[in-house]
Structure 1
């Protein structure tokens, strides 16, 4: 009877240091993450294959409620509008809709997703620079909130207003000098007077009525004072258009951009230490707005925000399986796993946290984790401390809910299945694993080329 050879790796000399253990006496990198919300990772992979995205319904709802509490305890009327582009999985959008979120969309295909989920038109915010006349007509007929991005869009809406014989309520998107580089390509600049001229232009013919303002500070804004600056400028601008143009606002929108616990590559400290809390953001905005509106003698407009990353990042993880382990010519340890950068596009910005999903011993080594795309740039993370892993072992890339799915693509491999762990512990398949039929269903081969 043939005996199976034991796994062998040529021995190397490694330098070990002290000071990495936690209060329980064990290096956190060696502590396995065997379950997600009570669902065993081994069972999830057995049922749905590897790689696999896993969504936590409990985390998604908790993040929404935490954000809502932070702002509603400081401002009279608050509405959270989930940024669909961040992760437009229908199950995620429907979960946040169930919590009371509006839909914030920047494309018409996202608008149609919201419609199919039975969002009321009045519960959809239509943003973005690319809105056709046809799509604007749908939004106008549905009563959606439209935040105008350009003078050309104002002209389109005036045409629609004339054709429909009605005054259309709109919002104006502002850009402000809040951080560097400023996002001046979107909307109208506050400091140089563009925004004031846009409001004046929109109001001049009596076809449009400005009832809202919207701006967006950026992405992953981990300095809450940026929102203080925004609030101060909002009050100043509202006072100017109220006194000089007679504008009274119904809505004021601070956008999104709230940071999460993921760590930026250029950061010296982990994101868990640098990320402001929802209370920090609310404290930065609400007192300034309320004090300013009180001085003006106006009723505080409804406060909108458009979070994406802050709601979904921590609510989704990626499980991958080790294909091979090898020693690189540099002497460094390398792992190849069955998930590539086509599933983890945001790793160019973040040092994602990796966890092992099984007991692997207590000795760790800095390891380069590569994907399976047969491209040299397919590096999920360099020099991540991990214990010894072998073919078939699982790793978990944590907190990947923002942008990684919505920016994923079929390159060399199909996109994997996605499951949601429900509040009651059930596991629901919310997106099937792709296959060749799915990939080719929109293609056609000219008849003369068919063999």
Structure 2
């Protein structure tokens, strides 16, 4: 059966394999752990409920994601609430229910003081997101370099210490967790060893009694020759054991892209071939916006599915250069340069690999709407989201004149 392109595919068997690798690595390395699946990476309902059945918590960074988690069956006690744009009602509900909440802004301190005062007989346990100079610890490996990240409370300038002291003055609030997520380019094991060492340093310096250390996400996934879960967590555990024990302190991880990349593909079709000047252009029904919405990728992993029934297919030649382009009416929608490859024709398919993390969440409603999504189970495809049509695009909208009724 030929499926209408473009569409995403998630390989359930590969996803299961990678998820089990993650859990097994944590189990053997630390034992006391929780996985907070990163909603921002890909909150496709089938995917979220698949992982929920495997025991994950919902790691959310907005009120909308919090509400989606509730709609998909997560209780407030199964939430890991991060980020700087929390809403106060959901902030309070997660804390009242005993969920995991990592504070990431001064207004949250005000909310915490007022909530604690309103419930003087309840003890609240909170975490604090720490901003620290990872670049100094791992030169050249961090995303922002010497400029540093913009999240959390700075250790170096004393803000973290001041926030910790302020929270400690609230009689019925305990700081029982640290959130240390930091973005890196390298995603190396050394980065996570450095993060773990920072947790140890903070425990010593501030005499912290922590029930959890949250490493965040940012692990590699799907690429040969790069670290895998069994590389990260034994190394992290070795560092954490300097100050923590699994019996007293839980390890929280927040994977997203590392779980999905190897299992996900995006299938596109060549719809037109044209020669302009000295350039051969392949127009496809997928777009750079589908798989590189931030416009930063310089290369793609892909394979071809050639349509040998195409007239002239037997006469294909090798071409020095073909420009693979998307469907949009923007010149920047050029996906990659296909060099010294077989001549591609209308009806051929280009299948992009390692595209499940962030790409679906960042897909635009630009010219074409959201594509179909399938899972592959034992060699067969099953649709788990229908492509959007004008019906879905118009939902919850008003037409001119209706707002006056």
TM-score, length basis structure 1? 0.80
Per the TM alignment, residue 285 of structure 1 is displaced from its structure 2 partner at its CA by 1.2
Is 1:388 matched up with 2:343? yes
Look at both structures and tell me which one has the larger radius of gyration over its CA atoms.
1
From 280, 283, 286, give the equivalent of 1:333.
280
Give me the whole-angstrom Cα distance separating, in 2, the residues matched to 1:309 and 1:109: 20
Per the TM alignment, residue 303 of structure 1 is displaced from its structure 2 partner at its CA by 0.4
8 Å contact from structure 2 (residues 318, 340) kept in 1: no
Give me the whole-angstrom Cα distance separating, in 1, the residues matched to 2:100 and 2:346: 52
Cα deviation code 1:334-372 (max 9, x no counterpart): 211001123121552352212111367684644221001
Per the alignment, residue 228 of structure 2 pairs with 277
8 Å contact from structure 1 (residues 220, 258) kept in 2: no
From 182, 185, 199, give the equivalent of 1:234.
199
Question: Alpha carbons of 1:61 and 1:183: their partners in 2 closer, same or farther (altered >3 Å)?
Answer: farther
CA-based RMSD of the aligned residues comes to: 2.3
Equivalenced residue count is: 386
SS at match of 1:375: coil
Per the alignment, residue 355 of structure 1 pairs with 303
Per the alignment, residue 8 of structure 1 pairs with none
Give me the whole-angstrom Cα distance separating, in 1, the residues matched to 2:101 and 2:42: 21
The structure 1 segments of at least 4 consecutive aligned residues displaced by more than 3 Å after TM superposition are: 181-184, 359-366, 383-386
Cα deviation code 1:389-442 (max 9, x no counterpart): 1111111011100111100111011111111123x4443221111111211223
SS at match of 2:335: strand
8 Å contact from structure 2 (residues 76, 93) kept in 1: no
Per the alignment, residue 243 of structure 2 pairs with 292
Per the alignment, residue 387 of structure 2 pairs with 433
Cα deviation code 1:221-246 (max 9, x no counterpart): 4322111211111101011222xxxx
8 Å contact from structure 2 (residues 66, 90) kept in 1: no
Per the TM alignment, residue 326 of structure 1 is displaced from its structure 2 partner at its CA by 2.5
Give me the whole-angstrom Cα distance separating, in 1, the residues matched to 2:326 and 2:341: 16
SS at match of 2:337: strand
Q: What are the ranges of 5 or more consecutive residues in structure 1 without an aligned counterpart?
A: 1-42, 262-270
Per the alignment, residue 311 of structure 1 pairs with 259
From 39, 42, 46, give the equivalent of 1:91.
46
TM-score, length basis structure 2? 0.89
Q: What are the ranges of 5 or more consecutive residues in structure 2 without an aligned counterpart?
A: 136-144
Question: Alpha carbons of 1:213 and 1:182: their partners in 2 closer, same or farther (altered >3 Å)?
Answer: farther
Is 1:192 matched up with 2:157? yes
Per the alignment, residue 400 of structure 2 pairs with 446
Per the TM alignment, residue 300 of structure 1 is displaced from its structure 2 partner at its CA by 4.4
From 328, 343, 348, give the equivalent of 2:290.
343
